[in-house]
Amino acid sequence: MKIGVLCSGGDAPGMNACVRAVVRSAAARGHQVVGIRRGYRGLVEETFYVGESGGIELTPRDVSDWGRHGGTFLHSSRCPEFLEAEGRDRAASAMAKHGLEALVVVGGDGSFRGATAFSQHFSGPIVGCPGTIDNDLLGTDFTIGFSTAVRTATEAVDMLRDTAESHERMFLIEVMGRHSGYIAAITALAGSAETVCIPETPTDVPAMVDYLRRLKKRGKSSVMMIVAEGDEAGGAEILHRKLEEAGCPFPMRVLILGHLQRGGCPTPEDRVLATRLGDAAVSAILDGKSGVMAGVVGRETVWTPFEQTYARHKPIAPEFLELLDRMAH
């Protein structure tokens, strides 16, 4: 069997490790893999990764040492053409033309919506691996890239604490996550932040200022506030202005971490997760599964229908939010 693999949507550290696992797992079972470049755009435009052999089949040697590199060597894209049936038809024709009998999609919720739509045009197996730093997909405890994004954000908080202490300031640090507060919540706990603003809980500015006044009175000399970019208060810059107007007792500075969280050498956790999921995706295809995402829940590898991975907002456990609250006092 010849399997196509692509990385789609926002790139994530660990995507290369996942593609490496797909190639190595398929080869170990006597099957071939073709690397599709730039996500769905590569299918629409028929652009493939050329390996050392000069052909478009990825060999185990081609993916040597991919595991430790962030980003995606296949490149990724956001492909508006794939939103149209005509684009998906062209993609299906490309699959047939190049003898691709199955597809592994490494991406986020949008990529899996695309995979669901593509299944109306391509009858072969399609299996997904959750490659996004957002950790906003149901059916897996964590997504590939989340661990590395949290490491990056936590290191930033640690460094900012030094200058915040030196000048007795408060920092509002905005992290990614799109509509999810997962990166912000975990970073806040790991970075011993005094407060966090996430879409999953209401952001009450007056109550926040009262809390900050209590911290100041208790002798707190620096404050870290982690802000999820999707927070209903509008992100760090807007929240900064609201806190200023409400009489925040600390001088404030804002830092938006942005795409720093998308790069870097993947953590061992991301590399292992990516390897498990890439291998599981190949197993799923060979077992006749389709329309599912491979995930790890607890210690188990599980497969979840695409539609269920993005059907609703992935909640943050209330007990985790309570822990966060207890640690911030």
Please identify, using beta-carbon distances, which residue of 78 and 216 lies nearer to ligand ADP.
78
* Residues of the shown chain interacting with ligand F6P in the complex, contacts defined by CB under 6 A: 10, 108, 132-134, 176-178, 229, 262
Q: How big is the chain by its Cα radius of gyration, in Å? A: 22
Contact between 44 and 87 (Cβ < 8 Å): yes
User: Has 134 been annotated as catalytic?
Assistant: yes
Q: How far is the CB of 310 from ligand ADP (least distance, A)?
A: 9
Q: How far is the CB of 77 from ligand ADP (least distance, A)?
A: 7
d(CA 67, CA 222): 38
Q: Which of 62, 109, 174, 229 binds ligand ADP (CB under 6 A)?
A: 109
The answer to the question of residue 119 lying near ligand ADP (CB under 6 A) is: no
d(CA 58, CA 52): 8
Q: In the stretch 82-101, what mask flags binding to ligand ADP with x, by CB under 6 A?
A: xx------------------
Partner that binds at residue 8, options ligand F6P, ligand ADP, none, CB closer than 5 to 8 Å by kind: ligand ADP
What is the torsional sign of CA 103, 108, 111, 113? Answer: positive
The answer to the question of residue 143 lying near ligand ADP (CB under 6 A) is: no
Please identify, using beta-carbon distances, which residue of 100 and 170 lies nearer to ligand ADP.
100
In a 10 Å sphere around its CB, with 0-12 CB exposed, 13-18 middle and 19+ buried, how is residue 318 labelled?
exposed
d(CA 229, CA 279): 33
Contact between 58 and 25 (Cβ < 8 Å): no
- Which residue numbers are catalytic? 134
Q: Interface residues with ligand ADP (CB under 6 A)?
A: 8-10, 40, 78-79, 82-83, 107-111, 113-114, 117, 132
